Chain A
Amino acid sequence: MSASVQATLKAEAKDLNFYYGDFKALKGISIPVHDKKITALIGPSGCGKSTFLRCFNRMHDLYPGNRYEGEITLNPDNVNILSPKVDPIEVRMRISMVFQKPNPFPKSIFENVAYGLRVRGINKRSVLEEKVEVALQNAALWNEVKDRLHDLAFNLSGGQQQRLCIARALAIDPEIMLFDEPTSALDPIATASIEELMDELKDRFTILIVTHNMQQAARVSDFTAFMYLGEVVEYNDTKKIFTNPDKQQTEDYITGRFG
């Protein structure tokens, strides 16, 4: 690994296998997730990058027949968040997620951002108002919505809705934020604003992002894992991956020879 790595480890996948029923979707994945850095997962469709991301908040537990093997350890307490002894709800309270398509609740802008706080038992109006404002500011949405916090979230544009979903995920002060192709449903201008936002967030949050857009990975991330057929082919410093990858397969993919 290159010399630029001085960050501490926030999480680490260790020999992770994942099964959808009998189908082995992830095969022996081991990569680190550095604290307050952006790690990108790239690879062609069906390579398992979203599946891997969704292990981090135990989303797979919602559907029957899914099975994990191996570990994802989360620091500072070094707990294996995939362990059956760990409540998936506890994991989701520590690690939040932004989905592929904006999925705001059909509630007001305010209530959307406040929901994660309400789940944590925060119901005091003044506290909620303050935290919602901070989250919306962090998501670069505050100036656009401050006069209509009680309007329905559905009245926002697609890009604004996605930033609202980011604010919702930010409000709970997560230890890691998972982004699952957050710009794939957005136009180029909205995409640019989300990327700008991620750049601002990376000083304060640990981010793991799945993207099928290699330029996006190159622009926003510090580290990149290239996945193919359920395996990590190469994990490295983003600069290294995009300028001088170790593996031929990685080079073929990033130069557009397949995928």
Chain B
Amino acid sequence: MQQSVAEIRRLIARHKFWDYAFAIVGMICLMVGILVLLSLFADLARTGAPRLTPAFFTSFPSRMAEEAGILSAWVGSVLVMVVTACAAVPLGVAAAIYLEEYAPKNWMTAIIEINVTNLAGVPSIVYGLLALGLFVYILGFGQSILSAGLTLALLILPVVIVATRESLRAVPGSIREAAYALGATRWQMVSDHVLPYSSAGIMTGIIMGLSRAIGETAPIITIGALTFIAFLPNSPISPEFPFVNAKWLMDPFTVMPIQMFNWTSRPEEEFQLNAAAAGVVLLAMTLAMNAVAIYLRYRIRKKIKW
């Protein structure tokens, strides 16, 4: 039985109603998310703006809100991130390469795979407790930059492993076969081909992990970071040979989110301005890292299209 043209048109109109309806609902959902975030950020920026002076970056915390700054906090954050990256990147990338390219596919690697993904969902305070026992007491690193960096490295390790594996998997099998067919060993195939071709994705994963780590507060408080610190760690660079030293690794420290937490918990109104200003700086750091990730991905992807 054939439908008349008028019937078909009515049918299409009815179907299209839902099409438009979803488009509108979807747009509202998107706007709710974006507008809330934007207004929060705008409010933070407006509140913190008067404190965002050069002196804010070069001053230690102080009992006087107007004189207090984030020098020890941002230096601490940077140094902790250095330790985190140095630990998480080689461990995570190597583990991912092993799992993806070397490990036999059996029930044991399947269990490991599932659990690596699950580890990404473990609450960060649990990592803090683990680190308090392992790094601070058993290994005796104390409440130091080293302990904090390693703690955050553990925290982001699953993120790095998962991102690396996904990037490795994106390299087509035909490229692997091309390398093998020329007589490459597995390691030559990985190091000459798969790893360089997936570097954009790996880089993005690392930076996403680090930008998560830089905002973490709970595990750092658990291992005992100071909340008020009026001196800098030893400098990693020294004027005499060998120009670098490792003393800073063992120094006490604070980081940006802890400094913020400290200020927000003060009763004085003026410290709230400092907290807002520090929040703006922390957000800017995170956004800058993400921007680097996007740029790297764009630049490397331009050369590689499967």
- Residues of A bordering B, CB below 8 Å: 57, 59, 62, 64, 89-90, 92-93, 96-97, 99, 101, 103-106, 115-116, 118-120, 152, 154, 165, 168-169, 172
Partner of A116, one of B104, B172, B183, B303: B183
Q: Are B188 and A105 in touch, CB under 8 angstroms?
A: no
Residues of B within 8 A of A118 (CB): 192
**A29–B92 alpha-carbon span in the complex (Å):** 47
Is B197 interfacial (CB-CB < 8 Å)? yes
Residues of A within 8 A of B15 (CB): none
Q: Are B104 and A96 in touch, CB under 8 angstroms?
A: no
Q: Are B175 and A89 in touch, CB under 8 angstroms?
A: no
- Residues of B bordering A, CB below 8 Å: 104-105, 172, 174-185, 188, 192-193, 197, 303-305
Q: What are 15 A-B interface contacts by the 8 Å CB criterion?
A: A59-B181, A62-B180, A89-B184, A90-B183, A92-B181, A96-B181, A97-B181, A99-B181, A101-B174, A105-B175, A105-B179, A105-B193, A106-B303, A115-B192, A169-B181
Q: Are A106 and B174 in touch, CB under 8 angstroms?
A: no
Q: Are A89 and B177 in touch, CB under 8 angstroms?
A: no
Residues of B within 8 A of A154 (CB): 303-305
In the complex, the chain B residue whose C-beta lies closest to that of A168 is B182
Partner of A119, one of B176, B183, B197, B304: B183
Q: Are A99 and B180 in touch, CB under 8 angstroms?
A: no
Asked whether A62 and B177 contact (CB < 8 A) given A89-B185, A119-B184, the answer is: yes
Q: Are A99 and B105 in touch, CB under 8 angstroms?
A: no
In the complex, the chain B residue whose C-beta lies closest to that of A116 is B182
Q: Are A99 and B183 in touch, CB under 8 angstroms?
A: no
Interface core residue of A64, A115, A118, A169 (most chain B CB under 10 Å): A115
Partner of B303, one of A90, A97, A152, A172: A152
What's the nearest-Cβ distance from chain B to residue A8, in Å? 25
**A99–B177 alpha-carbon span in the complex (Å):** 9
Q: Are B183 and A92 in touch, CB under 8 angstroms?
A: yes
**A9–B175 alpha-carbon span in the complex (Å):** 32
What's the nearest-Cβ distance from chain B to residue A92, in Å? 5
Residues of B within 8 A of A96 (CB): 181-182
What's the nearest-Cβ distance from chain A to residue B12, in Å? 40
What's the nearest-Cβ distance from chain B to residue A114, in Å? 10
**A101–B174 alpha-carbon span in the complex (Å):** 8
The 6 closest A-B pairs by CB, nearest first: A93-B183, A116-B182, A103-B174, A97-B181, A106-B304, A92-B183
Q: Are B188 and A119 in touch, CB under 8 angstroms?
A: yes
Residues of B within 8 A of A103 (CB): 172, 174-175, 177-178
**A106–B174 alpha-carbon span in the complex (Å):** 12
Q: Are B182 and A99 in touch, CB under 8 angstroms?
A: no
Residues of B within 8 A of A89 (CB): 183-185
Residues of B within 8 A of A90 (CB): 183
What's the nearest-Cβ distance from chain A to residue B183, in Å? 4
Q: Are B182 and A92 in touch, CB under 8 angstroms?
A: yes
What's the nearest-Cβ distance from chain A to residue B165, in Å? 19
Q: Are B174 and A99 in touch, CB under 8 angstroms?
A: yes
Interface core residue of A62, A96, A101, A168 (most chain B CB under 10 Å): A62
In the complex, the chain B residue whose C-beta lies closest to that of A100 is B174
In the complex, the chain B residue whose C-beta lies closest to that of A101 is B174
**A119–B104 alpha-carbon span in the complex (Å):** 25
In the complex, the chain B residue whose C-beta lies closest to that of A98 is B181
Q: Are A59 and B180 in touch, CB under 8 angstroms?
A: yes
Residues of B within 8 A of A59 (CB): 177, 180-181
Q: Are A115 and B179 in touch, CB under 8 angstroms?
A: yes
Q: Are B180 and A92 in touch, CB under 8 angstroms?
A: yes
Residues of B within 8 A of A165 (CB): 178
What's the nearest-Cβ distance from chain B to residue A167, in Å? 12
Interface core residue of A62, A106, A118 (most chain B CB under 10 Å): A106
Residues of A within 8 A of B180 (CB): 59, 62, 92
Residues of A within 8 A of B105 (CB): 64
What's the nearest-Cβ distance from chain A to residue B296, in Å? 16
A sample of 20 more A-B contacts (CB under 8 A), given A62-B176, A101-B174, A169-B182, is A59-B180, A64-B104, A89-B184, A92-B180, A92-B183, A97-B181, A103-B177, A104-B178, A105-B179, A106-B197, A106-B303, A116-B182, A118-B192, A120-B183, A152-B303, A165-B178, A168-B178, A169-B181, A172-B182, A172-B183
Residues of B within 8 A of A105 (CB): 175, 178-179, 193
Residues of B within 8 A of A116 (CB): 182-183
